[in-house]
Amino acid sequence: MNESSASTVPVNSAVRCEYTAAFLLLRLFLGLRTLLAGLEKFEASKSYSMENYTTNMGRMAKGISEYSFIPLWAANIFAMSLGFLLLILGAAILLGIKSRVSLFLAGLLYVGLGFGLAAVQEGEGVAWIGMQVLMFAVALVLVRNERLAVWGCKDN
């Protein structure tokens, strides 16, 4: 074994380990962020309930509809399903349940949030959502390095 082949094996292992660690960090962050974003939709005055959810999401839909071209019925459909989708996708990402699909769907959900914010000309919010969409895209590139998952994809 010559010097170049001996140094290649550990480097490839180290790179794979680094990609796995990078994906795990992204998955944990995005899963927790998405889960907590869903949970906050149910909160008002440090109390969590369906009544709070209905009030919060109704207010969100009304605000988007009043200040944009999006009709109230469309804003209501998105808003009323948003919290539940965030909770489900956040938990799936966090646990590693079909991560490729979960990350893609959550990324699409964040694209929808960005669209709503852009429609009401909320530039700073769009930028924050854009950064999260970028993180979802990077996670999708790194998903093949997933090692710790409850129900991973077969081609990992």
pLDDT tens-digit profile of 85-109?
999 999 999 999 999 999 999 999 9
Domain assignment present for 97: yes
Q: Which domain holds residue 100?
A: 3-145
Domain assignment present for 150: no
What residues of the chain score a pLDDT lower than 70?
Answer: 1-11, 13-15, 149-156
Structural domain count of the chain: 1
pLDDT at 154: 60
Regarding pTM above 0.75, the answer is yes
Bridge partners, residue 151, by sequence = 97
Domain assignment present for 152: no
Domain assignment present for 109: yes
Domain assignment present for 155: no
Domain assignment present for 154: no
Domain assignment present for 108: yes
Domain assignment present for 86: yes
